[in-house]
Amino acid sequence: MATDPQQACFEAGIKFGSLYHQFAGTPVSPDSTRSLETGIAESIENQPHCEAVTVEVDDEAVAADIDHENGYTELSGHLMEVEMRIEYADVTVHTRMEMEDGYPRMKLVDVETDEGEQPA
């Protein structure tokens, strides 16, 4: 059986998989980045144990990716940074997705219990 910290980390992974694979490919333009950020965050926050999601889409990177006259590009990991806070039982998990070596890395930033201690 999984420990609470393991389950909390699993929940974080589920949220990242859902976020990335649900929204990658969504049409985005510099005019729609704020509404897309809000829509993504609110969508993922509906999931169990997800307490907070912050999505930041880089307007300049979106504009630079537009290579046709229709005025949009497709959302991809290199265009956004994401942070999430997952709470499961007495465990809080903080995560982040950011570019690392040309790849959108999803990683655990911190795992802590209600006592503020790192689990063993």
Residue 84's pLDDT is 98
CATH number of residue 90's parent domain? 3.30.1300.20
Residue 5's pLDDT is 95
- If one counts the domains in the chain, the total is 1
What letters, b where the CB count within 10 A reaches 16 and e where it falls short, cover 85-100? bbbbeebbbbbbbeee
Residue 64 placed within a domain? yes
DSSP per-residue letters across 40-60: HHHHHHTSTTEEEEEEEE-HH
- The tens-digit pLDDT sequence of the chain (120 residues) is 999 999 999 999 999 999 999 999 999 999 999 999 999 999 999 999 999 999 999 999 999 999 989 999 999 999 999 999 999 999 999 999 999 999 999 999 999 988 665 655
Residue 105 placed within a domain? yes
Residue 114's pLDDT is 81
**Residues 101, 99: Cα–Cα separation, whole Å:** 7
Residue 119 placed within a domain? no
Residue 117 placed within a domain? no
Q: Smallest Cα–Cα separation from 61: which of 28, 24, 106? A: 28
Residue 120 placed within a domain? no
**Residues 58, 104: Cα–Cα separation, whole Å:** 14
Residue 116 placed within a domain? no
Instruction: Write out the residue range of the structural domain in which residue 31 sits.
Output: 4-110
- Kindly state the tokens that stand for 21: 């694979």
Amino acid type, 109? V
